[in-house]
Chains A and B, each alone.
Chain A
Amino acid sequence: MDRGGSAQPLLLARDLRKHFPIAGGLLGRATRVVRAVDDLSLSVEKGETLGVVGESGCGKSTVARLLMRLIKPDRGTMVLDGDPVDQPHGITVNELRRQVQMVFQDSYASLNPRLTIVETLAFAPKAHGLPSAEARARSRDLLAKVGLDPVHFADRYPHELSGGQRQRVNIARALALRPRLVILDEAVSALDKSVEAQVLNMLADLKSEFGLTYVFISHDLNVVQYLSDRVMVMYLGKIVEIGPVDAIYSDPQHPYTRALLSARPSMDPRKRTREAPIQGDPPNPIDPPSGCRFRTRCPFAEGVCAKAEPLLTDTGAQEVACHMRIKGSGHTRAP
């Protein structure tokens, strides 16, 4: 199934935009929009784990749904291993979904309460044409792979499982179609810490066993650091910093990234948090600030930040969207 070799990115997204209209006004027409994702471009390399972090409302979940085409983007293109998606000469959305799958956050709500586990797992393969007996056999194999004994768990109902077990089922479901890319949208956020550790390790094992690529979305910075090869930091629908995990975590360059990382409580009693790292309230994606969207909470904001939007610029180890790192931007701290 590999088409372009290891140099070609598995998934390429360019200038994705998604605005959600809010009904208002006399006739209920959309007068305002939520600018969830704005002209976002990213690439996912084969075999990597791309971590995506950001606060609530920054658009991470929307990006996930756009990548799976559960939502149609207003603008932008996607290319899967060299094939354009939803274009005349490329692959259809359905074909995209055979290769890209998703694990949702709410482990209970993601499972149909009326179906047994094996029925849930067999649904997708059957829908794609696999005969029923084969689909069920494959489902049982998958259950074993995620650490659930098929003899015990195949004929159970979701309400009879614990949160961790359900999330394993969700992961098994995502693997049922033998995808190449798995998007994990806050997949471990709702689990107890001990269970979370087990599931994370299982995800790492599965990745190497099946040769998967992951996009791992989370607000938990520690988990992202543990699992990811590269990390992408989002703010209000835009990428503010992206690069290898070590570079980002040891030398964060965007003020937002630095604030996020310093907000983590440390286990070292000598390192105490003395002040709130980020000022101001999380802004409204309906009316994002002009120019650099982070400027209203940035301690280094200057006039140029309101006038022009900083583009992602290569600064060596990573890429940053900040006027302080862009040569000749007009910012006092610019190189």
Chain B
Amino acid sequence: MLLYALRRLIYLIPVAFGVSLLVFALVHLAPGDPISAIVPSDAPKELVDKLKEYYGFDKPLPVQYGRWLLVTLSGDFGTSIGTGRPVLQEVGSAFGNTIILAIGACLVAFSLAIVLGTAAAYAKSRIVDRLVTSIALVGVSVPHFWLAIVLVIVFSVELGWLPPMGLGPENATGWRLDWPHIKHMILPTIALSVIPLGVMTRTVRSTVKEILSMEFVTALHAKGMNDRQILLHVLKNAAPTCLAVMGLQAGNLIGGSILIETVFAWPGTGFLLNNAIFRRDLPILQGTTLVLAFFFMMLNLTVDVIQTFVDPRIKRG
């Protein structure tokens, strides 16, 4: 199993290079002269020269890529044009905020999905099944950023119960586990959780249904096992597929939180990315994309490896 993990890691290396190449190319995708894309036209000459030297724009492209790669691998992700702070630091703190939101959304979405999906698969009445399927459908179809706005309208504008934006109350720095901060978390978490809820509910329902139709469940009934024990068996069989999809969804949440964070001005990586795009802060754009992409890759790898542990049918290595 460890061998499999190692093998997958080695396979990742060319992909990782490809990813870094793509991120590097982003700068050059931008319209116009790369320098003017990074730096406003009235920037001081020293900054322009320093950036030219830093990025090596006078050298041929492969050399530029090589230098950028080496610099990045050494931990220097560059400096933000907007704030002047190191990119890694900005991304790091923003990443923490995104993770908080993502964890909340995952907890809500996955636990609800398991309950709803299993209930729908077991349900004898078609009404229950229809209800759950409809909820899942809504989750998958609703534009989550629109839902966020609607939530703000209902709960902040009309009812005034929950704050419409921000990480915490005014003058608060960082995040703490206390009620005011949780109040700020509720709406974004709900908005973020709808899509994973929809997808996971469908997945759990179809997986459990498929397992229930398998002959071994009938065999367990015939042996006299009670329903609760059978449920445990069923869930154990459903676990590998569901875990894999959960991992994918979690990754998508972290990479795709930008829309929700924009609506709520939540200072996560998505919000950072948004600002970076509008300020043409390309070091932040590159750094954030790189960090998020690598995180996503590592997450997928972990999910794959865990799946081999959990699902004995998969023979690897």
Contact = CB atoms under 8 A, between A and B. Distances in A.
Do A and B touch (CB < 8 Å)?
yes
B232 interface: no
A28 B317 CA distance: 8
Nearest to B3: A26
A24 B317 contact: yes
Contacts of B3: 26
Interface in A7-55: 24, 26-28
B95 to A, nearest CB: 32
Contacts, number: 8
A26 B13 CA distance: 14
B10 A27 contact: yes
Interface in B1-29: 3, 6-7, 10
Task: Specify the main secondary structure of chain B where it touches its partner.
Answer: helix
A31 to B, nearest CB: 11
Question: Which interface class (under 10, 10 to 19, 20 to 34, 35 or more) fits B?
Answer: under 10
A166 B7 CA distance: 45
Contacts of B317: 24
A95 B317 CA distance: 41
Contacts of B7: 26-28
Task: Specify the main secondary structure of chain A where it touches its partner.
Answer: loop
Contacts of B10: 26-27
Interface residues of A, number: 4
Interface string B278-317: 0000000000000000000000000000000000000001
A289 to B, nearest CB: 24
A27 B6 CA distance: 9
B207 to A, nearest CB: 26
Contacts of A24: 317
A268 B14 CA distance: 68
Interface string A72-114: 0000000000000000000000000000000000000000000
Contacts of A27: 7, 10
Interface in B69-97: none
A241 to B, nearest CB: 35
A26 B317 CA distance: 8
B1 to A, nearest CB: 14
Interface in B178-200: none
Interface in A105-151: none
A297 B204 CA distance: 48
B305 to A, nearest CB: 15
A27 B317 CA distance: 10
Contacts of A28: 7
Contacts of A26: 3, 6-7, 10
A26 B6 CA distance: 7
A26 B4 CA distance: 8
A5 B10 CA distance: 60
A322 B153 CA distance: 88
B317 to A, nearest CB: 7
A99 to B, nearest CB: 41
B3 to A, nearest CB: 7
B316 to A, nearest CB: 10
B15 to A, nearest CB: 15
Nearest to A28: B7
A148 B176 CA distance: 79
A24 B4 CA distance: 10
A27 B11 CA distance: 8
Interface in B156-212: none
A306 B175 CA distance: 74
Nearest to B7: A26
A26 B7 CA distance: 5
Interface in B219-269: none
A27 B9 CA distance: 11
Nearest to B6: A26
A24 B10 CA distance: 14
Nearest to A26: B7
B308 to A, nearest CB: 15
A26 B2 CA distance: 10
B132 to A, nearest CB: 33
A30 to B, nearest CB: 14
8 contacts: A24-B317, A26-B3, A26-B6, A26-B7, A26-B10, A27-B7, A27-B10, A28-B7
Given A26-B7, A27-B10, 6 more contacts: A24-B317, A26-B3, A26-B6, A26-B10, A27-B7, A28-B7
Interface of B: 3, 6-7, 10, 317
Query: Which 3 A-B residue pairings sit nearest by Cβ, starting from the closest?
Result: A26-B7, A28-B7, A26-B6
